[in-house]
Amino acid sequence: MDQVTKSWLMLVIILIAGLMVILLIREIALWYWRVNHIVQKLESIDNNLRVIASKLESKSQEAKETKDV
C-alpha cells in the first residue's frame, strides 16, 4: 500500500472508532439518567390517555344520541 492509501485507511478506522465511542457514551448517559425508562413510561401514559379519550368520546356520542331522541 502506498502512503495515501494508508492515510485514508487510518482516517476511516479513526472515524469508525470515534463513532463507536460516541455511541457508547450516549448509551451510558441514557442509562444513567434513565431516559429510555422515562420514554417507555411516557408512551404508556400516552396510550392510556388515548383509550380514555376514545371512551369519553363514545359516551359523549351516546349522550347526544339519547338527548336527541
Containing domain of residue 5, as a range? 1-31
Question: Are 68 and 38 in a shared domain?
Answer: yes
Q: Is pLDDT at 41 greater than 90 in this prediction?
A: yes
Q: What is the pLDDT of residues 2-25, one digit of tens each?
A: 999 999 999 999 999 999 999 999
pLDDT computed for residue 48 by the predictor: 98
**Which ranges of the chain does DSSP label H, i.e. alpha helix?**
3-32, 35-68
Same domain for 68 and 38: yes
pLDDT of residue 69: 60
Query: 35 CB contacts (<8 Å, ≥6 apart)?
Result: 29
What is the number of structural domains in the chain? 2
Q: Are residues 38 and 65 in the same domain?
A: yes
47 and 18 part of one domain: no
The verdict on 23 and 52 lying in the same domain is: no
More confident residue, 17 or 65: 17
What does pTM read for this prediction? Answer: 0.58
pLDDT at 64 (0 to 100): 79
